[in-house]
Amino acid sequence: MQVDITNLGGRIIRLMIPDKDNHLRDVVLGFNRAEDYLPDNNPSDFGAIIGRYANRLAKGRISVDGVTYQLPQNNGPNCLHGGPMGWQYAIFHVEEATSNRIVLTLTSPDGDNGFPGCVQVRVVYSLENNSLRVDYHAESDRTTVINMTNHSYFNLGQTSDEPLCHDILDHMLRIDADRYTPVDETSIPLGDHMPVEGTPFDFRAAKAIGDDINSDNEQLHIGRGYDHNYVLNHPSLDAPSVTLSCAATGISMDIYTDAPGVQLYTGNFLNGVCGKQGTRYPVHSAVCLETQQYPDSPNRHWLESTGYLHASEPYHTSTIYKFTTL
């Protein structure tokens, strides 16, 4: 396997995986050149490191040590993925680069996109045994909030020379989660997590993504498909919490993570943007599986996922994407 990374947003721009015929396939959406990712060219989160806070913060507000901070409101009334100029557009410093490892660092100053505290960030990408591992590290000089993830758009069945990207509705997906997080019309959590049992959100046994995506379900109507947090039953780097596979190519991806949640997003707002080799990316042409703290955690005070980072307290989370053939 092979991964190509740019220090513009720490983005994965190409991820080449052998299929069942041992032909390398690029399994992530994106663009041909690093400059194509600039916000003035193609504003997107394709493959990016997301920070300071992944997912949504209600009304773009957080309270830290009794002080309320107003953040950018770039997703309706809410702050999404750190704001319109979050870390997905930051230039990371390349601290180390070898044949199977790259270390990226970033200083996010106090007040960056409205967030308090100066945060030192370190992200390590490493390849080993057909796995891509991502280790996220951060420290702050004062209390702040943080939630880091990678926003790759996966399609395990695509070839780069086709003019239109195939959808991922036939991909089989398993998520080890008994509960998910229902949202309001602005995609902010309504309250408690809810059982997946008896709903279209039940992926505890592998099923095709498209099996229930068009169900008459209010939550699916709100997101125009799946765009919801799953509460992982057993987050671990020793056993996979998520499995995605494509029978056509024989490629299977297991995701191991110590993060408490994963956001399932089925490319509901892809609009035919022109990507690699002129390929168009229409709706549902990729699936994102963003390992994360729960959305809006700092404002919800879920004990198991607060989203706060205190001064001199190390933040660390890891995710492993392991590839095999069926």
- 216/179 Cα distance (integer angstroms): 19
Per annotation, catalytic residue among 81, 151, 193, 228: 151
Q: 187 Cβ partners below 8 Å, 6+ apart? A: 56, 75, 76, 78, 222, 223, 227, 295
Q: Is 221 an annotated catalytic residue?
A: no
Q: Which of 148, 130, 128 is nearest to 138 (CA)?
A: 148
Q: Which two tokens stand for residue 260?
A: 């408490």
211 backbone dihedrals φ, ψ, rounded to 5°: -55, -45
As a three-state string, the secondary structure of 205-251 is: CCEEHHHCCCCCCHHHHHHCCCEEEEECCCCECCCCCEEEEECCCCE
Give the tokens for residue 167.
Answer: 């959808």
Residue 301 is a catalytic residue: no
Radius of gyration of the chain (CA): 18
Selecting among 81, 139, 171, 290, the annotated active-site residue is 290
By annotation, the residues acting in catalysis are: 151, 290
